[in-house]
Amino acid sequence: MLDYNLYKNVILEVIEKIENSLVGVSTKEFLKDPEIQDATLMRLQVIGENIKNLSLKIKKKNKDIKWKKFEKLRDIISHKYQSIDYLLIWSFLETNLKELKQTIQNLEEEA
């Protein structure tokens, strides 16, 4: 059986990195800084990939999280990088990241 705690820990670690890199960063600053944009996109890819590896059981227990949105965002970043809308990325982070972090932190240990 897979150790889903590994995936959960990676997700939490990467969320923390995103949060730390965006402390004090305004929307305007984010939109002008390709270094922060690239780092954030890479981290969102890692989150999406690890979410894909979580069990369906975990996802069904926590239906309030839009798991597919994170998975699809990962695919867009990976395969359609040239069409990224950074304002949408910023909005996505503001809308979804905190809730994902809270849910992942509250997941029961999987056997």
End-to-end Cα separation, the chain, in angstroms: 8
- Calpha distance 107→8 (Å, rounded): 9
Q: Percent of the chain beyond pLDDT 90?
A: 79
pLDDT digits (tens, 9 = 90+) for 25-60: 999 999 999 999 999 999 999 999 999 999 898 899
What amino acid positions are annotated as catalytic residues? 74
- Tens-digit pLDDT profile for residues 101-111: 999 998 865 43
pLDDT at 67 over 60: yes
The answer to whether the beta carbons of residues 78 and 45 sit under 8 Å apart is yes
Residue 71 corresponds to which tokens in the numbers above? Answer: 């998975």
Least confident stretch, 6-10, 13-17, 18-22: 6-10
Give residue for tokens 């240990």: 109
pLDDT at 64: 87
* SS3 annotation, 50-74: HHHHCCHHHHHHCCCCCHHHHHHHH
Q: What's the CA gap between 81 and 79, in Å, rounded?
A: 6
The overall average pLDDT reported for the chain is 91
- The verdict on pTM exceeding 0.85 is yes
Distances, alpha carbon 109 to alpha carbons 22, 23, 46, 58, 60, in Å:
29, 30, 21, 10, 15
